[in-house]
Amino acid sequence: MRLLFLSTLISAFFVSLGQVNAQKTQIVNSTIKQVTIYRNGAEVTRDISVSLDEGTHELIFKGLSASLDKESIRLSGLADLTVLSVLPKMNYNQEGEKSKTMRQLEAKSTTIKEKIAFERGMEQIYKQEEEMLIKNQQLGGDKVAVKTLELKEAIDFQRKRLIEVLQKKLETSDNIKKWEDSIKVVGKELSPLITDSQKATMEIIVTVSSKKAAQVKLELSYYVADAGWYPSYDAKLTDLSAPLSLQFKAGMYQYSGEDWKKVKLILSSANPKDKSLMPELRTWYWGLPNDYSQYRAATKDDLPGDNSITEVSGFVKDGQDEPLPGVSVTIKAKNVGAVSDANGFYQLSVPANLPAAQRVLDFSFIGFKTQSKPISDRRIDAIMQEDVNALEEVVVVGYGGSKRNARDGRAASASVVKKESIGLNINEREAPTSVTYEIPVAYTLLSDGKTYIADLKTEQITDSYYEYLAIPKVRQGVFLNAYLPSWANLNLLPGDVNLYLENSYVGKTHLDPANAPDTLSLSFGVDKSVSVRREQVKSYTKKQFLGNNVTENRTYRIALRNAKTIPVKVVVRDQYPLARSKEVEVFDKSAPDAKLDENTGKLTWAFSLPAGESKELSLRYAVKYPKSGYATRE
């Protein structure tokens, strides 16, 4: 009896111990709290609140970006938790996870395809019957006489039956057309749903051990590659007496598969792709490889070039030149795409950092052959070719949802919106190796590949100054330049600069701080209110021949005029020729008030030109050179 009691007690103890140590599995909801966007990629931080009992737990985080870098996963706020394992894995929606609407549409599609197959079968039957009736028009044999009544009855029968067969063939053809139109309608609704169900996501399974029961708050962070931002600037010159205004802007984009809705957004100039390993010199033996490639940066910043295509649109039609609505237009292997509307029109954004090899559009629709077209133009049209075999077994690929416009009935696809500039009060912080800009309001950045422009800050460059630069030997125009001596204090990054003169756009230039001089200059183009003219003074120009040599005297007059109502600073540049050999001699040089660089022969005049006044400059030199072997034209 005592043994039975002891055995029962031990069993109960192990059952209790098993219940304590049993691993509990739960799917954990998380919300994106903060995103730090780097020049290439972004770090996503999620907030998690979960109730845990004492023991081991398996926490499953679903619906994360498929472009998540597995090596970057970090879980913080653990407190009394011990992480036993972290297992990231790709997740593809299974058949059982389809929505009710999707299952209904698939059943409807199957039914329609069965009806099409039946009608095509009947079409073949009627065709065969028609052929049989035609072949059997000869009654009896050569030696068999057919009575007139029998002949009349036979002809009437054939005529009647042929008419019936023709009517059936027309009805069947109409039915096939009707069902094919129906399957297009179903495909338009089903296409985006199937794509969403087939879209890959990442899930992370974290096994933790909890010392006690508690409500735990955690943070999950990870790096995604399909995102980035690039800087641009608006340089505005409104008045020559006012400082230059420099507006900092950021073009942000992401196509990670996650929508970032109302999150704290931080822009960082850092690039996680850069190699962070400090280089060291190794002993080098001549004739053996001396490879230091592991220390070099992986990539440069992915900035949109002048000719890069960031938006693409077009029309999709069928073989009869009819608009084809509901066609899925996607960027190959990316979470970016659109669906053609009722007019067959589509429009989508192309991510700024998308590699050239991936700049390909896929056009897909139920019952039609899939087409691929390189993104080589801002407009790309497609004519879809019907795939008869696909009606029997169809794989549909689509993207996004479609909404009906109550006014005109058109489907609203994932169309491109015009780039909007959002003014924000940015908190700028300078780290030891990078600069960050914190956007102070909750920001939404959807996974659509579109570029959203945010105004980061505006600086009034108080030590900026302006000069008019003329090189009339090259071009008879005076350029207005702005100079920024203290640009190095502005934390500038490489990017395009849009130039505005008195609120009018006058052009674009590119800023490259790594190769900029001590004083940065921006040219706002030719100002026609300040003019320059350079001409050769013939009365003081002559050519003399002495033996095998020629002596040539040249004189030039440079005339400037300021038609503005304020004085301006003007810099004029010209040059003397230099002699490469002793055969050539440059002498009798004169350029009053000009500064000469003896090494280059360049001349510089710098002066202030009062409002409404003119000024003349003169340049003279003589050259002695051999008669042949020299070009004498300036």
CATH class of 311-412: mainly beta
* Contacts of 232 by beta carbon, 8 Å cutoff, 6+ apart: 249, 250, 251, 453, 495, 496, 497, 498
Indicate the DSSP class of residue 375. Answer: -
What local confidence, expressed as pLDDT, does residue 242 receive?
93
Kindly tell me the sign of the dihedral angle through the C-alpha atoms of 488, 490, 491, 496: negative
φ, ψ for residue 263, nearest 5 deg: -115, 160
The DSSP string of 18-51 is: HHHHPPEEEE--EEEEEEEE-SEEEEEEEEEEEE
Confidence at residue 248, expressed as pLDDT on a 0 to 100 scale: 94
pLDDT for residue 380: 92
Domain ranges of the chain: 100-198, 311-412, 531-626
Q: Running along the chain, 634 residues long, what does each successive block of 10 average in pLDDT?
A: 47 46 81 93 93 90 88 84 86 60 80 85 84 68 60 75 83 85 77 67 89 88 92 94 94 91 93 71 82 64 59 88 86 80 86 82 85 90 80 39 36 37 56 79 90 91 95 95 92 92 91 89 93 86 70 93 95 94 91 95 96 95 84 68
- The DSSP result for 282-336, as a single string, is ----TTS----GGGS-S-------TT---EEEEEEE-TTS-B-TT-EEEETTSS-
Read off the tokens for 253.
Answer: 């984009």
Q: Which amino acid is at 6?
A: L
pLDDT for position 567: 95
Distance in angstroms between the alpha carbons of the first and the last residue of the chain:
122
Per-residue pLDDT at 189: 76
Strand partners, 218: 48
Whether the Cβ atoms of residue 61 and residue 202 lie closer than 8 Å to each other? no
**How high is the pLDDT of residue 467?**
96
CATH number of this structure's domain 531-626, picked from the four choices 2.60.40, 2.40.160, 2.40.10, 3.30.310: 2.60.40
With residue 233 as reference, give the H or E element that holds it. strand 214-237
Assess whether the region 311-412 and the region 531-626 belong to the same CATH fold: yes
Asked whether 394 and 367 are in contact (CB, 8 A), the reply is: yes
pLDDT for 161: 79
Neighbours of 19 (CB within 10 A): 9
- The total number of residues written for the chain in this structure: 634
> What's 391's DSSP letter?
G
Residue type, 385: Q
Q: Cα torsion at 185, 374, 195, 263 (round to 10°)?
A: -120
Q: What is the Cα–Cα distance from 347 to 326, expressed in whole angstroms?
A: 13
pLDDT of residue 1: 47
In one-letter notation, the amino acid at residue 465 is: Y
